[in-house]
Amino acid sequence: MHDTTAFKAFRVAVITVLAAFTILPIYVMITSSMKPLEDVRGAFSWWPSRITFEPFVDMWTTVPLARYFVNSTIVATSATLASLVIAIFASYAVSRYRFRGRTTFTTTVLSTQMFPGVLFLLPLFIIFVNIDQTFGVQLVGTRIGLIITYLTFSLPFSIWMLAGYFDGIPRELDEAARVDGCSPIGALLRVVLPAARPGVIAVAIYGFMTAWGEVLFASVMTTGANRTLSIGLRQYSTQTNVYWNEVMAASLVVSVPVVIGFLLLQRYFVAGLTGGAIK
C-alpha cells in the first residue's frame, strides 16, 4: 500500500513538472505578446503592466508576415500532398507485390531516417546548383526547390509507415474489388484507402508539421521573396532593436492553425502511428 501511494505521489510530481515545462513557455509567450515593448525589454514580469494588442497589429507591417505566411502555406501544403501521393502508391506496391529489389528498397528507405538531416544540406545544395547550371532550372531560392527538399524529409517515413498500415488490411478486400471489376489502382482508391484513412491522415500531419516549422534548410534554400515563416520571424530583430513583443505575437498567430489542425485530427494521428508502427 505504501509503495503504491509513494509511486502515485512520484508520478503526480513528475507529471506536474513536465506540465510546468510545457505550459510556462506558452504562458510567457502569450503574456509577452500583450506587453508594451518597454515591459519586454525591462525586468521580467509575469503579467503586463498594461495589456495592449498593438503587437498583433504592428507585426503585419514591421515585416511582410502575410507574404511569409502564404509562402509557408504553399510550401508545406505542396510538400505534404506530393509526399502523400507518392507514398500511397509506393507503399501499396511494397505491401501487395513481391518484386526484385523489394527488400533492398524498403531497407534503403528506412535507413535514410538514421542520418541527421543536416548531412543532406550541402549535397542537396550542390545538386540544385548543378541542375541550374546544366539545365537552366533554378531551384535554390525558389519555393519549388524547398518543396522538393521537404519531400525528401517526409517521404521515406511516410512510405515505411503506410506500408506497415497496408499490411494490416486484409488482401481479401483487394481481391473482392478485383472480382467486382476494379483495376489494381481502383481497388487501392476505392477500398484500401478508405480503410487506411487513419494512416493517411497521420502521414499528412507528419509531412505538414515537418515542412511548416523547418528552419535550417529554409534559411539556405530561400531568398527575400520566398522566405517562410520560420525564417521571416527573424526579421523582427534589427541592428538597433528587437521587437520581442511582436515576435511573441507572430509566433502565437502562426502556431494557432497547426495546433488547431493537430487537435482536430489527433485521434487519427495516434491511430495511424500506432497501427503503422505495430504492423
In this structure, what CATH number is given to the domain that contains residue 207? 1.10.3720.10
3 state SS of 242: strand
Any domain includes 42: no
109 against 200, higher pLDDT: 200
| Cα-to-chain-centroid distance, residue 149 | 13
In a domain, 180, yes or no: yes
Q: Residue 258 is inside which H or E element, if any?
A: helix 244-264
C-alpha cell of 93? 506496391
* pLDDT value of residue 238: 75
Query: Does 17 reside within a domain?
Result: no
In sequence order, the β-bridge partners of residue 237 are 242
Record the pTM: 0.82
User: Which domain does 250 fall in, by range?
Assistant: 58-278
Instruction: Note whether residue 52 is domain-resident.
Output: no
**Once rounded to an integer, what is the mean pLDDT over residues 160-170?**
85
Which residue type sits at 63?
A: V
- Does 90 fall in a domain? yes
- The predicted-structure confidence for 120-135, as pLDDT tens digits, reads as follows 888 889 999 999 999 9
Q: Which of 181, 174, 176 is nearest to 196 (CA)?
A: 174
| Residue 91, in any domain of the structure | yes
Residue 237 DSSP one-character state: B
Question: Which residue is it, cell 500583450?
Answer: 34
Is 20 part of any domain? no
| Higher pLDDT, residue 174 or 269 | 174
**What is the helix (H) or strand (E) element at residue 37, kind and residue range?**
helix 37-41
The structural domain count of the chain equals 1
pLDDT of residue 74: 93
List pLDDT tens digits, range 209-232. 888 888 888 888 888 788 888 888
- Cell numbers at 182, concatenated: 476494379
Q: Does residue 267 sit within a domain?
A: yes
